[in-house]
Homo-oligomer: A and B are copies of this chain.
Amino acid sequence: MPKKRGYHHGNLRQALVEAALQLIEVRGPTGFTLSEAAKQAGVTPAAVYRHFEGREDLIAEAARQGYEIFADLMQYAYDKGQPSALASFEATGRAYLAFARKYPGHYIAMFESGVPVNRTPELAKVAARARGVMERAANDLSQHIAPEKRPPPSMFSAHIWAMSHGVVELYARNSPGTQSPFSPEDLLETGIGVYLRGLGLIGQDA
């Protein structure tokens, strides 16, 4: 709990990140402004420059923290699914959607704010960590596929990543109009199910 009293804020840097995340969540990636984030943190816009190089830098930090949480969540899901390769893989897919739901501000900062993932080395690194978890899960899983018909693990992790992202963007946002009778969770669950059956990894009754 930052002490708001007094001239010095105490924890302004993080407070700004959180203000930014909240604004991004409510107003979209465009709606966010540095000035407003400052105001929401109870501080003058100029104060932001003590902690960040500018607007972009603030968003990038929000995205970085998002990737950090995201990677942790993926890792946790992976571990929880172990020792079953299949369970781990499914769990990481589900974690993707769960993250998007639980941390919408972070998600938008990461994927919709236009911040390039290799804007800074730290950002690139943590993003790679998240991707790494999914690829490891895919790699584990590919051991169970007959070698001659085994697609590259990075390929089917990309498939799941793409489907997850698509479900989030098209069906999990409150984008009115693209309504679907199915919940995003169902959509992703069944989608991954069909996909895994296509790989011959689960039976036809699953």
Contacts and interface: CB of A to CB of B under 8 A. Distances in A.
Given A30-B30, A200-B204, A158 B180 contact: yes
A47 to B, nearest CB: 25
27 contacts: A28-B114, A29-B30, A30-B114, A111-B169, A116-B176, A116-B177, A117-B177, A117-B178, A124-B177, A149-B204, A151-B190, A158-B171, A159-B163, A159-B187, A159-B194, A161-B166, A161-B170, A162-B163, A162-B187, A163-B191, A165-B165, A165-B170, A166-B167, A166-B169, A191-B195, A194-B198, A195-B198
| Chain A facing B: main interface SS | helix
A199 interface: yes
A182 interface: yes
